[in-house]
Amino acid sequence: DIIYARGGFLQLGIPLRFAIKSDWIRFPFKRIMTRWGALPIFRNQKEGVSKKSRVEVMAELYNEHKEIAIMVAPEGSRSLRKQWKTGFYYVALQANVPIGLGYLDYQKKQAGIARLLWPSGDIEKDMREIMAVYASISPRYPELFSLDERYTGGSVDSDEEKR
């Protein structure tokens, strides 16, 4: 999806940055990844330095780069997940930035940002709002996409919901 997202961000005039494991920012990928806006996340801390959580490391990116929008795939996987990873929520909360609910709707051939959501600290309420936005989006592979069942009132995936 990064290729399509990059095209969508370019059309919207938004410079794309995305977080990625630092392993991807070395030969032979370094040049293309950094040119595309990759921000390496170093998981291993130096000796003698207290280890930071991934959320803290990501939130610090907002302090280091004043004008930044970071793309995160909250499903966190290329396989079916019934529960999303919520680190993106806590990063936005800690960095005091909104969550842009971006999408690629393959059925409608549209890309965009549905809305900005400022995290309130009430993850249950906010995640229900996020799930409501993504309930109407058609993913490229519906069989590999699911809304987070913790915030939809049960096991609902996008393919079943559209029937």
Would you kindly state where each structural domain of the chain is located, as residue ranges?
A: 2-120
DSSP string of 44-87, one letter each residue: SPPTTSPPPPHHHHHHHHHHH-SS--EE--TT-SSS--SS---H
Helices (H), ranges, the chain: 2-12, 30-36, 54-64, 87-95, 123-134, 158-161
Per residue in 122-161, pLDDT tens? Answer: 999 999 999 999 999 998 888 888 999 999 975 444 444 4
Per residue in 42-69, pLDDT tens? Answer: 766 666 677 788 888 888 888 888 777 7
pTM: 0.75
